[in-house]
Amino acid sequence: MRDFNFCAPTKILFGKNKVEEIGPEIKAHGTRVLLVYGGGSVKKMGLYDQVVTLLKAQSIFFVELSGVQPNPRITSVRDGVRLCREHNLDFILAIGGGSVIDCAKAIAAGVPYDGDAWDFPMGRAKVVNPLPLGTVLTLAATGTEMNGNAVISNDDVADKRGMGADSLRPKFSVLDPSLTFSVDKWQTAAGTADIMAHIFEQYFTLDKGTFIQDAIAEAILKTCIEYGPRALNRSDDYEARANLMWASSLALNGLTSTAKPEGDWATHQMEHQLSAVNDMTHGAGLAILFPVWMRYVLNEQTAPKLAQMARNVWGVDADDDREAALKGIDAVRQFFNSLGMPSSLTQGGIRRDDIPGMVQKACLFGPIGGFFKLEAKDVEAIYLNAL
Ligand code: NZQ
Ligand code: ZN
């Protein structure tokens, strides 16, 4: 096993009504807060009122940034940066799903930075001394509640890109599974697909000797296979929501990628272009692309790892690695279909004409992927196979 450093410093407050503990957690870092939320789900479920009451009870000054959209836009980030500067705010509290939290992170990075916040996703600026932030998570999917990444969309250039820094990891995250009871079937399914996709991106490497990382990854995949359908069948199944929520955080806090190279991440980069072109739900785009990517990259070198997933996760019984891998890939497709996710780009509203632009942006900085390096022609072939 390679050497590694592992540090996941976000304090997790897990369980029913854990939001009640945010006052002292915020005060440990700041007293003037930007409260960031989305299109209204937090108001419907009563979380907004509860948080506002808690902030007032602790005499914490706050200003609001609402209306953050799924696939959060750079325009919201700029608004947030302006509010923080105008009101001299020193802490950001995000209440919502991945989009709200990612927007909060980009704001946190943008406040001390002299230029435009879009410089971060474009790799033109490094994150230095961001504002501290905390989160109350309402959707199990992205893992952003425990990592330092954010993904931001820019409609002006029809692009969506990631940024990240360890200093953007939330100081604390409240994980109350009952806050996800109101997540609808579509978002529950997309969230489950996203968690699984994060595991795939880190599991599929050519490194050997990472038995423990692989075993944890396989357990997280099995958790999604067990509890994704349960949460779809009964939205207030606490056990299902709790397992999915913890799976979300563990899948992308660095745990399963320890001692591995960077991971693959090509499928995420290809998916971000689907969201950029058609505002597609992230997990739905991944559900379309992942089985197509697996089939495309299957060769003599990659077959053993794909076969390992097939056998250990899906119970495939086949001696030949290629045969096992193909069965495992079919199982992934069938599972995503059973969750109600789309299986083609056409179903997702992407047209053949969109593909050249998506290829160009996905490969803006050269070939993508680690398990299998994809050139622009490969990315084009995968998009076409997924049509
Ligand atoms: O806007 P509101 O009204 O809050 O509604 C949201 C939104 O419409 C709704 N929702 C959230 N919690 C709810 C709820 N509805 C009812 N009850 C609740 N408890 O769900 C919709 C989708 O929300 P969103 O935040 O967009 O979903 P998700 O958490 O899946 O986040 C997706 C975004 O995260 C990025 C994706 O690219 C996408 O932009 N990702 C971030 C990552 C990271 N930072 O590490 C990694 C991921 O791979 C991903 O790329
Ligand atoms: Zn993802």
- How far is the centre of ligand 2, averaged over its atoms, from the C-alpha of 194 (Å)? 5
Q: Which ligand is nearest to the CA of 275?
A: 1
Residues 62 and 112 in one domain: yes
- How far is the centre of ligand 1, averaged over its atoms, from the C-alpha of 315 (Å)? 31
> Which residue, of 179, 197, 213, is where some domain finishes?
179
Q: How many CA atoms lie within 13 A of 238 on its CB side?
A: 5
- Residues of the chain with pLDDT > 90: what percent? 98
Q: Which CATH number covers residue 115?
A: 3.40.50.1970
Residues 259 and 372 in one domain: yes
Nearest protein CA to atom 28 of ligand 1, as residue = 98
Ligand 1 in reach of 142 Cβ (< 6 A):
yes
Residues 130 and 18 in one domain: yes
Looking at the domain assignment, is residue 90 inside a domain?
yes
pLDDT the model gives residue 7:
95
- How far is the centre of ligand 2, averaged over its atoms, from the C-alpha of 60 (Å)? 33
- How far is the centre of ligand 2, averaged over its atoms, from the C-alpha of 31 (Å)? 32
Helices (H), the chain: 22-27, 41-44, 47-57, 74-86, 98-110, 185-203, 211-233, 238-251, 266-278, 282-297, 303-314, 321-338, 355-362, 376-386
- How far is the centre of ligand 1, averaged over its atoms, from the C-alpha of 221 (Å)? 20
Looking at the domain assignment, is residue 117 inside a domain?
yes
Q: pLDDT by residue (tens digit) across 45-77?
A: 999 999 999 999 999 999 999 999 999 999 999
- How far is the centre of ligand 2, averaged over its atoms, from the C-alpha of 197 (Å)? 6
Ligand 1 in reach of 39 Cβ (< 6 A):
yes
Ligand 1 in reach of 276 Cβ (< 6 A):
no
Q: pLDDT by residue (tens digit) across 128-157?
A: 999 999 999 999 999 999 999 999 999 999
Residues 351 and 231 in one domain: yes
> Which residue, of 146, 179, 212, is where some domain finishes?
179
Is the predicted pLDDT of residue 370 greater than 90, yes or no?
yes
Q: pLDDT by residue (tens digit) across 170-212?
A: 999 999 999 999 999 999 999 999 999 999 999 999 988 999 9
Indicate the pLDDT class of residue 367, thresholds 50, 70 and 90: very high
- How far is the centre of ligand 1, averaged over its atoms, from the C-alpha of 97 (Å)? 4
What is the DSSP code string of 238-297?
HHHHHHHHHHHHHHTSSGGGTTS-S---HHHHHHHHHHHHH---HHHHHHHHHHHHHHHH
The 3-state DSSP class for residue 191 equals helix
Looking at the domain assignment, is residue 128 inside a domain?
yes
Average pLDDT over residues 3-30: 97
Is the predicted pLDDT of residue 106 greater than 90, yes or no?
yes
pLDDT the model gives residue 261:
75
**How high is the mean pLDDT of the chain?**
97
Residues 65 and 168 in one domain: yes
Ligand 1 in reach of 144 Cβ (< 6 A):
yes
Residues 207 and 309 in one domain: yes
Residues 205 and 64 in one domain: no
Is the predicted pLDDT of residue 365 greater than 90, yes or no?
yes
Average pLDDT over residues 111-140: 98
User: Closest Cα to residue 224, out of 201, 197, 253, 205?
Assistant: 197
pLDDT the model gives residue 8:
96
Residues 136 and 106 in one domain: yes
| Angstrom distance (rounded) from CA 47 to CA 68 | 16
Q: Which ligand is nearest to the CA of 190?
A: 1
> Which residue, of 134, 159, 179, is where some domain finishes?
179
Does the pTM exceed 0.90? Answer: yes
Q: Which CATH number covers residue 259?
A: 1.20.1090.10
Looking at the domain assignment, is residue 333 inside a domain?
yes
Q: pLDDT by residue (tens digit) across 233-270?
A: 999 999 999 999 999 999 999 999 999 977 999 999 99
| Angstrom distance (rounded) from CA 202 to CA 337 | 23
Looking at the domain assignment, is residue 26 inside a domain?
yes
Looking at the domain assignment, is residue 335 inside a domain?
yes
Contacts of 41 (CB under 8 A, 6+ apart): 96, 138, 182
Residues 220 and 235 in one domain: yes
pLDDT the model gives residue 69:
97
Looking at the domain assignment, is residue 2 inside a domain?
no
Looking at the domain assignment, is residue 252 inside a domain?
yes
Residues 141 and 287 in one domain: no
Instruction: Look at the chain and report how many structural domains it folds into.
Output: 2
Complex ipTM, two decimals? 0.99
Residues 136 and 242 in one domain: no
Atom of ligand 1 nearest to the CA of 99: 25
Ligand 1 in reach of 282 Cβ (< 6 A):
yes
Mutate which of 36, 41, 176 for ligand 1? The one with the most ligand atoms within 8 Å of its CB, which is 41
Average pLDDT over residues 37-43: 97
Residues 138 and 275 in one domain: no
- Residue-range definition of the domain harbouring residue 162: 11-179
